[in-house]
Amino acid sequence: MRRGVGALAIAALMWAGSTTSASAGGMNGTLVSSVDFNCYSIATGNPYIEPMISAIAGWGSTGEMPAAGEVFSAQFSVGLVGRSCSGASISPTVIPPLGVRIAVDAQHPVQWRYPGQSETWQTSGVRLLTLPDGSAKLVPEQNENSLWPIANEQPPLQFLVPLVADRQLSGAGSGPGQCPNGPPCARGDAGDYLQVQVDNSIGNPLTLVPVVPLFASPAPAGAPTGGAAAGKVKVAKTLTVKALGKGLTVKVPASALAEVTVTLTAKGKVVAKGSATAAKAGTLSVKLKRTAALKRVKGTVKATLKVVATGPGLTKTTQSLKTQVRG
């Protein structure tokens, strides 16, 4: 008897926005599939072709939609929906559109799971290989050939990858087949579409590209633009030892997940320093703590406030601002 695509397998693949309890908003794209010969049909001498590997991409956020500068997640699933002779292997690459970056750090790791083996999301066992164009390949740490196995009659392999939009997104753009040299589209031709390139070991075509339009409200006023980790910082012409002793706060316009370090140097010595990480885009408050060298400041001396900001997918910024410290 011929085997079609299992209804349970298709239902399991139609997954994205509601995958995690933390996701209040989100949407799925369209299911895409490759085709190949059903293995049983070859063995019985009556070969026929059926959908073999299917993939779907989506996104999820804690609100109805993320604001530019807030972390949200790309979500995608890949599974065998046909009957192969020996399973299959896949290699996924996440391709965000321009103005959207992969935002993986210690607080926002890549998550993955094989639901047929465990419902628990895993954060170890995966490496993120960032490519020059801003996309990133997901590689299993324990597989020498860098491929993820998928098996017959098993729920699909699932991934969550943190993203941040640095601009407003309205779902405009083009999917694969509607841009030059796609699929996948070049990032600059993809509009507001997230693409996931899934290279497969079997089936036709050997590359699937599920897509989903992204949406994000405008970034808050004062947030950096163009992928810069931090915007222009202002400092008073004179800082007092008394204020520094109490803990001076420096306001830094920062992109989401920007890691900002501020140091104040006078007479060749660091007299105060502090650091902070921006949970979302906007104004980040960095509180400086005095060092022992501050006690040696007498009278009024020249000083330099250095602000260094970096972060996942961001352009590093360094600012050196002239000021003075008065004892």
CATH number at residue 267: 2.60.40.2550
Residues 98 and 176 in one domain: yes
pLDDT the model gives residue 140: 94
pLDDT the model gives residue 307: 97
Pair 317, 233: CB distance under 8 Å: no
Residues 211 and 245 in one domain: no
pLDDT score of 130 more than 50:
yes
Residues 243 and 188 in one domain: no
pLDDT the model gives residue 176: 60
pLDDT the model gives residue 18: 39
pTM value is 0.81
pLDDT the model gives residue 2: 42
Pair 197, 225: CB distance under 8 Å: no
Residues 244 and 203 in one domain: no
pLDDT score of 6 more than 60:
no
Mean pLDDT of 195-224: 91
Residues 14 and 148 in one domain: yes
Across all residues in the chain, what is the average pLDDT? 88
**Residue 3 or 186, more confident:** 186
Residues 101 and 210 in one domain: yes
Per-position b or e across 70-109, b if 16+ CB within 10 A of its CB: bbbbbbbbbbbbbbbeeebbbbbbbbbbbbbbbbbeeebb
Residues 164 and 292 in one domain: no
Q: Which domain holds residue 258?
A: 238-326
**Residue 314 or 180, more confident:** 314
**Residue 303 or 5, more confident:** 303
Residues 33 and 126 in one domain: yes
Q: How confident is the model at residue 4 (pLDDT cuts 50, 70, 90)?
A: very low
